Amino acid sequence: MSLPLLPDRTCGGCVECCRVIPLDLPELAKPTGQLCGYCVDGAGCSVHEIRPQTCRVWFCLWRVVELSDDWRPDRSGVIVRPDGVERGEITLYVVRRSDFLADMDFFATIAGWIAEGVEVALSVPGPVGTYPARAVVTDWLRPAVEEGDPQDFLARVLASLDRLAEHDFQPDGVTARYAVV
């Protein structure tokens, strides 16, 4: 999918999606959670001009909607996935637990989405080479949102992440293939 990007925002030093998003294309395949071999530390994509179409059109929602700089995925540990948005679902892919989960910005933003009727899901990565786990948590978070209680909200988020971490993660079956030429 391709959403219009914010004109004044770039990925900067973030390369999170080049690590955690599954890729199984004819010219590029890598196990989920393994940093793409074309990604150069501090410089980004080394095949930028000829990168696969999937890489050209996949952007997290931090590149699309007005979320604060603290939401940048390498800082927040949270990738707001774009898939599902068109049907009113937002998935928060928590690739790393950070203090941002306790931030009022995080609480207020998600509370706003839930109040607007958006379905919110949490997702966590499994071991390298497995699909992530995901669960819709709107109704579980709603009491904390309606009470305006950030502490209860954080407790509910962490409890959800703990449950997801116990998931029976399934292998993605992907063998690395680097053939972008």
List contacts with ligand SF4 (CB under 6 A).
11, 14-18, 28, 36, 38-39, 45, 47, 51, 55, 59-60, 62-63, 72-73, 79
Nearest approach, Cβ of 169 to ligand SF4 (angstroms)?
21
Tokens representing residue 179 in the block: 């053939």
Nearest approach, Cβ of 79 to ligand SF4 (angstroms)?
5
Give the nearer residue to ligand SF4 in terms of CB position, either 59 or 107: 59
Nearest approach, Cβ of 60 to ligand SF4 (angstroms)?
3
The distance between the two most distant Cα atoms of the chain, rounded to a whole number of Å, is 55
Give the nearer residue to ligand SF4 in terms of CB position, either 115 or 176: 176
Q: Are 158 and 101 in contact (CB under 8 A)?
A: yes
Nearest approach, Cβ of 13 to ligand SF4 (angstroms)?
9
Separation between Cα atoms, residue 51 and residue 132, nearest integer Å: 24
The secondary structure of residue 130, as a DSSP letter, is B
Give the nearer residue to ligand SF4 in terms of CB position, either 75 or 156: 75
Give the nearer residue to ligand SF4 in terms of CB position, either 62 or 153: 62
Q: Are 112 and 95 in contact (CB under 8 A)?
A: no
* Residue 110 to residues 71, 103, 114, 144, 166, Cα–Cα distance (Å): 12, 11, 6, 11, 24
Give the nearer residue to ligand SF4 in terms of CB position, either 58 or 153: 58
Nearest approach, Cβ of 96 to ligand SF4 (angstroms)?
12
CA atoms within 13 A on the CB side of 150: 10
Separation between Cα atoms, residue 78 and residue 92, nearest integer Å: 6
